[in-house]
């Protein structure tokens, strides 16, 4: 760099410092700055201290869990990629990679702290703390010391490239520079920024690569665990062409015709491939091969076989001068099986690259499509084809025939220089590599999409492996290639699964079903709804009752501090996610024979919160119990168990029972229990809600001693208006909410013909129930006065209904034995009290 350039560079730096001081109130901070012989590179963003603290806390929790597992099992199930040992234990290190190696003119500064000296070479920069996280906007800037004509990024994503602007040098005062911003969004993994700038008509290339990390998940443990589940059900769906980032956290094991995987691997190995082809072009393999020809006698040369010579003399003696004779000669020939193999490989690679380029270019040119793939990448695909075309034009390949396969192993392909390299690359391409390089060019779907599908499949896995369901029908969507060679679900749906269990319970698990005004039995009335996951469970005959739970996967953690929630210590789901659960439950209505009901018994967000679920309680447990709205933290487990889904698993067990193979489920009790939950029994103000329309409680009249005779006569004549029962007696048998659901009292009195037993022959409608002190109940209401403050339920009765047949055999004591919950249908079919069927077993205390 000359003195003039050096002078205006520092003038620009001075102006930049003045500008920075003028904007001191701004929250933008310089994360990284380094200077080379040709440019200065810097990265800016808002304060990321909290993000770094959250990330380190997450890692610390994982280290603690991993250590506990290692202590219990003697083995570690937690892998760290880049680790060093510090006072606090294991610390994963972040790396920034540069290509080619940078020669530093200035020290490297991280947040103003020097981490590398000037004059050194820089290939990998090891960071003490990570700098790049998801959902943060970063500003990148290259300031060039040379007279740069143009500068740009050549990333595959056109959107990412468009976020950068090049400004040329202005009259020797302000140097040329390339600036731009990138919002990492939910794209995690390796992000590579390939820079190209033109100096004196020559293109200079330089790239920087860094890892974008999630703050609440471990990129190197959680995501691979999710990939394994997704790949098992929807192979290759997670890969993309033009995402911002790529990931080296997974190891693909899928072999098959997936063009995007082939392209990703070819881009990594093409240098080796082209180098091997150059060696082959300089020294192609050849071998001695016998060639047969027919020639006249006067053109025969060299040594002639005795038999052929005798034949020629005979023909000359007989005057046959025009006759031709078969001659075999050996010469070197390049038309070998190995060269035919090489030619076929070149043709196949060129064909695939040409297909990629043509289809992507055509799709990019359509006016209705927003350009997604950058022109730089499309041009690069064309450049990759040039060495292959040049190789095909080599003279020796023109004499090579069509490849028809190899008859056996070829030492030439395995050992000869050039041939062996091409052979290895082709085999790796054919099997799509079982392991990717650190900076693989293949992209993944965003982590939010990955998390959503993984949550859906985790619920499926719980139903099958933990709750004893078996798939009876699978409507899993078939993956199809789109115009960018990515596998997608048709209409965005991952399909639905239907299950059956040994006890007769049936379940349906659907991903993103759409509820509209014209849907089936469950519909909306105003706005379409599309929850991520819907679980519908149907009980067998005779109940056939159906229950629905909704789940929405939210790859987000609450960051705003509130008065009641400490987001620094505990992971909470964002408030808008909880609000969305309320919306789902309220919007969906089931219509059956013009009767409207609300089918959703619970709506829950699933989020990547980290907890020790074995020893802590779900922070949303109270809301789940009281109103059926809340959230479950859901992450892959640490050691192959169920550590990451204990809360969700226990909730489902409570709702629909466990695996019948491990214990019998009382389905009638489970069905009643669902209706008895506090969340399912919240009515509109001024109304009450009941499961049975004819719920009856049986009970005996009190002892006659000390009571007025008129009290019992009123029950016998059917003119009684009051009945009282101690609160403690009722609560010793039934849960409190049942008192509001009882519609009739079946009161047993003592017949004259059999004073040792009581009978039921009337049903008394309940007009009102009050809880009062015993001293407030008068003689007319109770038959006698008792001055005690003990609380009693006082029932106001209507006119009685007479049974066709009385129920007999009711013993006078114990009193609690006369109390049963039943229905009118069961009561009418019974003659003996001991045979009377009951309902609501879950309402019984104990």
Which range, 79-83, 413-417, 552-556, is most confident? 552-556
CA gap 825, 143 in Å, rounded: 87
Q: Which one has a higher pLDDT value, 467 or 428? A: 467
pLDDT band (50, 70, 90) for residue 251: very low
- Cα separation of 272 and 508, whole Å? 51
Residue 683 has pLDDT above 70, yes or no: yes
Please check whether residues 481 and 599 belong to one and the same domain.
Answer: yes
Domain boundary residue, one of 402, 433, 464: 433
Quote helix, strand, coil % in the chain, to nearest 5.
Answer: 35, 30, 40
Residue with the bigger pLDDT between 357 and 340: it is 340
Asked, for residue 243, whether it belongs to a domain, the answer is no
Bridge partners (DSSP) listed for residue 149: none
Domain boundary among 681, 714, 739: 681
Round to whole Å and give the CA distance between 675 and 681.
Answer: 7
Range of the domain at 310: 287-333
Provide the mean pLDDT of the chain: 77
Is residue 623 situated within a structural domain? yes
Does one domain contain both 359 and 477?
A: no
Is 284:377 a contact under the CB 8 Å cutoff? no
CB atoms within 10 A of CB 310: 11
Global model pTM greater than 0.75: no
Share of the chain above pLDDT 70, in %: 76
- Comparison of pLDDT for 187 and 246, the residue scoring more: 187
**End-to-end Cα distance, the chain:** 87
Closest CA to 80 of 89, 69, 72, 91: 91
| Residues 514 and 426 placed together within one structural domain of the fold | no
The predicted-structure confidence for 65-105, as pLDDT tens digits, reads as follows: 665 544 444 444 333 333 333 333 334 578 898 988 888 98
**pLDDT-derived band of residue 143, with 50, 70 and 90 as boundaries?**
very high
Mean pLDDT, residues 221-249: 63
Co-location of 658 and 758 in the same domain: no
- Residue 401: is its pLDDT beyond 80? no
Phi, psi values for residue 409, rounded to 5°? -70, 140
User: How large a percentage of the chain has pLDDT more than 90?
Assistant: 23
Q: What is the pLDDT of residues 646-681, one digit of tens each?
A: 999 999 999 998 888 887 777 877 887 787 777 777
| Bigger pLDDT: 477 vs 771 | 771
Number of domains in the chain: 5
**In a shared domain, residues 540 and 586:** yes
With respect to residue 762, please indicate whether it lies within any of the assigned structural domains.
yes
Q: Which residue has the higher pLDDT, 426 or 816?
A: 816
Closest CA to 505 of 392, 671, 284: 671
Let me know if residue 232 belongs to a domain: no
**pLDDT computed for residue 535 by the predictor:** 93
Phi, psi angle pair for 334, to nearest 5°: -90, -5
- Exposed / middle / buried, residue 834 (Cβ in 10 Å: 0-12, 13-18, 19+): exposed
* pLDDT-derived band at 181, boundaries 50, 70, 90: very high
* Buried b / exposed e along 351-383 (16+ C-beta atoms within 10 A): ebbbebbeebeeebeeeeeeebbbebbbeebee
Q: Which of 378, 396, 389, 307 is nearest to 350 (CA)?
A: 389
The pLDDT of residue 491: 43
Residues 176 and 296 in one domain: no
Does residue 674 lie within any of the structural domains?
yes
- Other beta carbons within 10 angstroms of residue 792's beta carbon come to 24
Lowest mean pLDDT among 457-471, 476-490, 528-542: 476-490
In a domain, 442, yes or no: no
Q: Are residues 295 and 320 in the same domain?
A: yes
Residue 242 lies in a domain: no
Do 7 and 155 have their domain in common? yes
The DSSP letter of residue 515 is B
Assess contact for 254 and 264: CB atoms under 8 A.
no
pLDDT of 248 strictly over 60: no
Mean pLDDT, residues 416-429: 76
| pLDDT greater than 50 at residue 603 | yes
Indicate whether 156 and 270 sit together in one domain: no
Q: List Cα–Cα distances, 786 to 567, 707, 773, 782, 793, in angstroms.
A: 56, 11, 10, 9, 15
Same domain flag for 670 and 741: no
Same domain, 265 and 369: yes
The answer to whether residue 233 is domain-embedded is no
Q: Contact at 8 Å (CB) between 716 and 825?
A: no
At 247 the pLDDT is: 47
pLDDT digits (tens, 9 = 90+) for 299-318: 777 677 767 777 777 777 77
Residues 464, 594 within the same domain: yes
**DSSP secondary structure string for all residues of 569-603:** TS----HHHHHHHHHHHHH-EEEETTEEE--EEEE
Residue range 250-271: mean pLDDT, rounded: 50
Last residue of a domain, one of 173, 197, 219: 219
Task: Give mean pLDDT, residues 726-731.
Answer: 94
pLDDT of residue 216: 73
> Contact 481/259 with Cβ under 8 angstroms?
yes
């Amino acid at each position: 760099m000359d003195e003039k350039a050096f002078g205006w560079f520092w003038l620009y730096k001075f102006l930049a410092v003045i500008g920075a001081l003028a904007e001191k109130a701004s929250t933008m901070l310089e994360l990284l700055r380094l200077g080379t012989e040709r440019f200065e590179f810097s990265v800016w963003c808002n304060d990321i201290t909290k993000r770094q603290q959250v990330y380190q806390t997450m890692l610390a929790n994982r280290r603690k869990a991993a250590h506990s597992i290692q202590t219990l099992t003697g083995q570690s199930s937690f892998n760290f990629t880049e680790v060093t040992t510090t006072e606090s234990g294991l610390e994963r290190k972040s790396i920034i990679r540069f290509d080619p190696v940078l020669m530093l003119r200035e020290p490297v500064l991280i947040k103003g702290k020097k981490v590398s000296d000037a004059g050194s070479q820089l290939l990998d920069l090891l960071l003490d703390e990570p700098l790049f996280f998801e959902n943060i906007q970063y500003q990148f800037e290259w300031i060039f010391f040379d007279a740069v004509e143009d500068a740009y990024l050549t990333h595959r994503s056109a959107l990412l490239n468009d976020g950068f602007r090049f400004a040329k040098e202005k009259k020797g005062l302000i140097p040329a520079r390339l600036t731009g911003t990138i919002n990492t969004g939910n794209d995690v993994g390796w992000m590579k920024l390939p820079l190209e700038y033109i100096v004196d008509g020559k293109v200079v290339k330089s790239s920087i690569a860094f890892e974008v990390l999630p703050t609440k998940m471990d990129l190197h443990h959680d995501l691979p665990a999710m990939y394994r589940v997704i790949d098992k059900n929807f192979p290759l769906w997670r890969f993309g062409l033009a995402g911002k980032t790529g990931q080296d956290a997974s190891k693909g094991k899928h072999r098959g015709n997936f063009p995007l995987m082939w392209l990703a691997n070819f881009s990594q190995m093409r240098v080796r491939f082209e180098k091997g082809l150059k060696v082959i072009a300089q020294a192609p393999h050849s071998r001695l091969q016998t060639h047969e020809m027919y020639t006249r006698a006067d053109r025969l040369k060299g040594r002639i076989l005795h038999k052929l010579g005798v034949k020629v003399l005979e023909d000359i003696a007989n005057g046959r001068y025009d006759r031709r004779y078969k001659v075999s000669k050996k010469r070197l020939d390049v038309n070998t099986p190995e060269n035919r193999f090489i030619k076929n490989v070149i043709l196949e690679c060129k064909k695939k690259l040409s297909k990629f380029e043509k289809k992507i270019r055509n799709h990019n040119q359509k006016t209705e499509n927003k350009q997604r793939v950058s022109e730089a990448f499309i041009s690069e695909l064309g450049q990759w084809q040039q060495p292959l075309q040049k190789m095909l034009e080599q003279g020796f390949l023109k004499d090579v025939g069509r490849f028809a396969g190899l008859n056996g192993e070829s030492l030439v392909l395995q050992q000869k220089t050039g041939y062996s390299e091409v052979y290895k690359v082709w085999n790796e391409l054919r099997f799509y590599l079982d392991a990717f390089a650190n900076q693989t060019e293949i992209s993944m779907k965003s982590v939010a999409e990955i998390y959503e599908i993984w949550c859906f499949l985790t619920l499926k896995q719980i139903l099958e492996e933990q709750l004893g369901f078996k798939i009876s029908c699978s409507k899993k969507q078939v993956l199809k290639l789109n115009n960018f060679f990515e596998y997608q679900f048709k209409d965005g749906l991952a399909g639905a699964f239907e299950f059956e269990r040994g006890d007769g319970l049936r379940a349906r698990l659907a991903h993103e079903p759409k509820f509209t005004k014209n849907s089936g039995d469950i519909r909306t009335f105003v706005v379409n709804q599309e929850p991520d996951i819907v679980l519908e469970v149907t009980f067998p005959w005779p109940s056939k009752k159906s229950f629905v739970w909704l789940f929405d996967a939210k790859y987000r953690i609450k960051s705003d501090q509130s008065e009641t929630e400490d987001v620094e210590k505990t992971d909470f789901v964002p408030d808008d996610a909880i609000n969305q659960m309320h919306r789902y439950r309220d919007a969906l209505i089931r219509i059956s024979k013009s009767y409207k009901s609300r089918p959703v018994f619970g709506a829950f967000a699933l989020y990547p919160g980290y907890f020790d679920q074995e020893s802590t309680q779900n922070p949303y447990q109270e809301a789940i119990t009281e109103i059926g709205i809340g959230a479950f933290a859901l992450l892959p487990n640490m050691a192959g168990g169920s550590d990451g889904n204990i809360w969700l698993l226990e909730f489902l067990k409570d709702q629909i029972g466990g695996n019948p193979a491990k214990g019998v489920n009382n389905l009638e009790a489970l069905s009643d229990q669902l209706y008895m939950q506090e969340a399912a029994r919240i009515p509109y103000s001024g109304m009450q809600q009941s499961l049975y329309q004819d719920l009856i409680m049986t009970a005996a009249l009190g002892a006659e001693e000390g009571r007025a005779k008129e009290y019992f006569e009123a029950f016998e004549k059917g003119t009684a208006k009051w009945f009282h029962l101690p609160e403690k007696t009722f609560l010793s048998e039934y849960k409190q909410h049942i008192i509001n659901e009882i519609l009739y009292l079946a009161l047993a009195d003592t017949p004259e013909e059999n004073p040792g037993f009581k009978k039921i022959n009337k049903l008394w409608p309940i007009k009102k129930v009050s809880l009062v002190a015993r001293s407030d109940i008068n003689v007319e209401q109770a038959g006698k006065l008792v001055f005690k403050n003990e609380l009693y339920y006082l029932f106001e009765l209507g006119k009685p209904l007479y049974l066709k047949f009385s129920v007999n055999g009711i013993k006078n004591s114990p009193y609690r034995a006369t109390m049963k919950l039943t229905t009118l249908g069961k009561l009418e079919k019974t003659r003996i009290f001991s045979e009377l069927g009951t309902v609501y077993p879950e309402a019984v205390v104990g």
